[in-house]
Amino acid sequence: MSSRVEIRITGFGGQGVVLAGHIIGCACAIHADRHATMIQSFGPEARGSACSATLVVSESEVLYPYIRRPDIFVVMSGEGYEKYGQELKENGTLVFEQDLVSPTTVEGQRAFGVPSTRLAESLGKTIVQNIVMVGFFAGVTELVPAEAMRDAVRGSVPAGTEDLNLEAFEKGLEYARKSVSQPAASVANPSLEEVSP
Amino acid sequence: MKADPAGVLTGSHYLDGDFACGEGAMAAGCRFVAGYPITPSTEVVERIARRFPTFGGTFIQMEDELASMAAVVGAAWTGTKTMTVTSGPGFSLMMENIGLAAMMETPCVVVNVQRGGPSTGLPTMVGQGDVMQARWGSHGDYEVIALCPQSPQEAFDLTIDAFNLAEIYRLPVMFLMDECVGHMTEKVVIPEADAIEIEPRRLTEKRPEDFEPYQINGGQTPEFARAGDGYRFHTTGLTHDERGYPVMNDECHDASVRRLVGKIRDNADSIVRFEEEGMDDAEVVVVSFGITARVARLAVEEARSRGIRVGFLRLVVIWPFPEKRIRELAGSVTAFVVPEINLGQIALEVERVAAGQAATWPVLHAGGTVHDPAAITETIVKAASS
């Protein structure tokens, strides 16, 4: 139980919230020898407004499949933050789309922002925003090795889009490495120029 | 025989329970699925509808559940392995033709991804309230086999077992998943095709002139001849003789129905399947199934850490019920604790079999989410101290 990490990923329908959750879970369960149980939210809320996926990652079998209070909260929309922001653990990690979410800094929590939509736009495809976020998540949380995440991205995206998605992943990962090298709690982030190719 | 590699997606996958069930069906050799998609079972047929065209299977989206079940029964008579997929409301509509399948001794698999009921209830949320319906839902006396997976891996593995049991005993086998397992994504390992054991249709080796569709040779299950192969073919939901022709008398009816029931009851020991933990010194035993079994194990671990001698029994095959084992345990333990996401179905069965020798403590919850393990722990503690 002590190794149990609970994660919630949220955004609005169409951002690829479930795919982001799937990739992180797949990286843990298939490419990193962990147990990972993903549950996606079903129901009217999955169409258009706040959409959410939860993950439990553990060294041992996951017996209780739902999350109670996440250790890591990945949020890609303001509405998602409003709905689930309060449940993050006191010492939890917040990972957010900084142009769409304006979080309140809570003492004890770590917060990492990324302009994932703009970074995706810089690749010419806004649709890979979620993969930029997955890369950023990989870098700031170091939950599993980046290589496991890369394998999961490669295996989970539509055939023919692997290169674009891996590029998006690297973009987010690189941004994370710069963020982590700076004091995290201040939510200081390098400018876009610094990470442009 | 070994599985046909065409339907086996060998490898490690990150799949939800519904997809894994679909993969299990295809690995088992299922090549005909008819259904009327319904939450939370839709992904099973989505998966199949996408994969069937790549190796040659037929999926039909039917007009309703009555027709779905009828198509599955009909297609099975061509020798094809068939399945339908639904949830509670559709399961109710299928009951008439499930009875027909039982009476005609048609091998097929019926998947029910359970959601909160009754009626349309909670379409997107978990329930385990169809346990008794799976057993008794159609009219008249018959027996079923029902399996209950606790994970996507088991959704794959046990679907194969469901198809195999359907072939051996020639009956509709119920696959009782629940929304939580169906919509939960985990690692699923699919072995090589030659590591998967498949029961083929038990076709008769007799010459057409010597064959009768419901003649029994020694065992309790008739041999099969495919419609269209030149064998005499007659089957009906009416009480019938060895030729498959209606016979309206008590003598034929008694023999027929006793055989339908007997082929499962008499073989219960080889069909029953459960897992046990910590029975050596157990004073209390938790009996559970499906997703609830996973949550209950947390409660069992917690109770043990508090020094309570508690054992755990998980039903893998839920029907036939492991009467012999529960009766045996009832003689040595003081109580059974039965958590389930319904208002007391397996608890009734445990209580019936324990027959007053040990107490039964249900931990019930009507559906919408899984149990809080603390509620189960609390009942274990009470059961142990009373």
Which of B147, B179, B195 is the C-terminal boundary of a domain?
B195
Tokens representing residue A59 in the block: 């060294």
Got the DSSP string for B180-222?
Answer: HHHTEEEEEEE--GGGSB-PPP-B--S-GGG--TT---SSSS-
Q: What is the rounded CA–CA span in Å between residue B260 and residue B172?
A: 12
Domain annotation covers residue A197: no
Cα torsion angle, B336, B340, B342, B345, sign: negative
If asked whether residues B73 and B175 sit together in one domain, one would say yes
Q: What is the rounded CA–CA span in Å between residue B7 and residue B26?
A: 5
Q: Residue A55, CB half-sphere, CA atoms under 13 Å: how many?
A: 31
Domain annotation covers residue A10: yes
pTM for the model = 0.95
If asked whether residues B73 and B190 sit together in one domain, one would say yes
CB atoms within 10 A of CB B219: 11
Domain annotation covers residue B35: yes
Asked whether the beta carbons of residue B14 and residue A40 sit closer than 8 angstroms, the reply is no
Mean pLDDT of chain B: 97
Domain annotation covers residue B90: yes
If asked whether residues B320 and B186 sit together in one domain, one would say no
If one counts the domains in chain A, the total is 1
CATH of the domain at B311: 3.40.50.920
If asked whether residues B279 and B175 sit together in one domain, one would say no
Predicted pLDDT of residue A40: 86
- Which range of residues forms the domain containing residue B35? 5-195
Asked whether the beta carbons of residue A64 and residue B187 sit closer than 8 angstroms, the reply is no
B298 contacts in chain A (CB < 8 Å): 63-64
If asked whether residues B168 and B289 sit together in one domain, one would say no
Residue of B nearest to A37 (CA): B186
Nearest to A30 among B12, B295, B370 (CB): B12
* Environment class of B330 (CB within 10 Å of its CB; exposed 0-12, middle 13-18, buried 19+): buried
Domain annotation covers residue B258: no
- All residues at 6 or more sequence positions from B192 whose CB lies less than 8 Å from its CB, including other chains: B5, B8, B10
The two beta strands, B30-35 and B58-61, are parallel
Higher-pLDDT residue of A193, B156: B156
If asked whether residues B36 and B142 sit together in one domain, one would say yes
Asked whether the beta carbons of residue A65 and residue B39 sit closer than 8 angstroms, the reply is no
Q: What is the rounded CA–CA span in Å between residue B340 and residue A107?
A: 41
Residue of A51, A64, A67, A153 to mutate when probing chain B, most B C-beta within 10 A? A64
- Which range of residues forms the domain containing residue A29? 5-189
Spatial CA neighbour of A16 closest among A124, A93, A88, A116:
A116
Backbone phi and psi for residue B178, each to the nearest 5 degrees, phi listed first: -135, 160
Asked whether the beta carbons of residue B186 and residue A62 sit closer than 8 angstroms, the reply is yes
Predicted pLDDT of residue A6: 98
If asked whether residues B21 and B113 sit together in one domain, one would say yes
Q: What is the rounded CA–CA span in Å between residue B109 and residue B146?
A: 10
CB burial string B187-210: b at 16+ within 10 A, e below: bbebeebeebebbebeebeeeeee
If asked whether residues B79 and B176 sit together in one domain, one would say yes
Predicted pLDDT of residue A191: 47
Assess whether pLDDT exceeds 70 at residue A1: no
B278 in Cβ contact with B310 (< 8 Å): yes
Which of B162, B195, B228 is the C-terminal boundary of a domain?
B195
Domain annotation covers residue B269: no
CB burial string B341-378: b at 16+ within 10 A, e below: bbebbbbebbbebbeeebbbbbbbbebeebbbbeebbb
Q: What is the rounded CA–CA span in Å between residue A108 and residue B269?
A: 57
**A 7-46 residues with CB < 8 A to B:** 22, 25-26, 29-30, 35-40, 42-43
Predicted pLDDT of residue A2: 54
If asked whether residues B187 and B289 sit together in one domain, one would say no
**Helix A129-141 and helix A146-156, axial crossing angle in degrees, nearest 10:** 160
CATH of the domain at B77: 3.40.50.970
Predicted pLDDT of residue A43: 58
A95 in Cβ contact with A115 (< 8 Å): no
Domain annotation covers residue B76: yes
Mean pLDDT of B327-353: 98
Which of B151, B178, B195 is the C-terminal boundary of a domain?
B195
ipTM at complex level: 0.94
Domain annotation covers residue A196: no
CB burial string B150-160: b at 16+ within 10 A, e below: bbbbbbbbbbb
**Helix A129-141 and helix A162-180, axial crossing angle in degrees, nearest 10:** 40
A21 in Cβ contact with A53 (< 8 Å): yes
B39 contacts in chain A (CB < 8 Å): 42
Amino acid identity of B6? A
Q: What is the rounded CA–CA span in Å between residue A38 and residue A66?
A: 9
Mean pLDDT of A151-176: 97
pLDDT interval class at A44 (50, 70, 90): low
Assess whether pLDDT exceeds 80 at residue A45: no
A62 contacts in chain B (CB < 8 Å): 186
Q: Tokens 């559940």 identify what position?
A: B65
Spatial CA neighbour of B293 closest among A65, A39, A4, A7:
A65
If asked whether residues B191 and B280 sit together in one domain, one would say no
Q: Tokens 């690749």 identify what position?
A: A123
B180 contacts in chain A (CB < 8 Å): 39, 65
If one counts the domains in chain B, the total is 2
Residue of A nearest to B184 (CA): A39
CATH of the domain at A126: 3.40.920.10
What ranges in B170-310 are assigned the alpha helix state H?
179-182, 250-265, 268-271, 290-305
Amino acid identity of B57? G
Asked whether the beta carbons of residue B183 and residue A35 sit closer than 8 angstroms, the reply is no
Residue of B87, B187, B305 to mutate when probing chain A, most A C-beta within 10 A? B187
Predicted pLDDT of residue A187: 45
If asked whether residues B177 and B314 sit together in one domain, one would say no
Q: What is the rounded CA–CA span in Å between residue A116 and residue A131?
A: 9
Nearest to B187 among A29, A42, A64 (CB): A29
pLDDT interval class at B233 (50, 70, 90): confident
Share of chain B above pLDDT 70, in %: 100
Domain annotation covers residue A194: no
Mean pLDDT of B112-137: 97
Q: What is the rounded CA–CA span in Å between residue A130 and residue A119?
A: 11
Q: Which H/E stretch holds residue B177?
A: strand B172-178
Predicted pLDDT of residue A48: 58
Predicted pLDDT of residue A41: 75
Assess whether pLDDT exceeds 90 at residue B164: yes
Amino acid identity of B201? R
Domain annotation covers residue B240: no
pLDDT tens per residue, range A30-42? 999 999 999 987 6
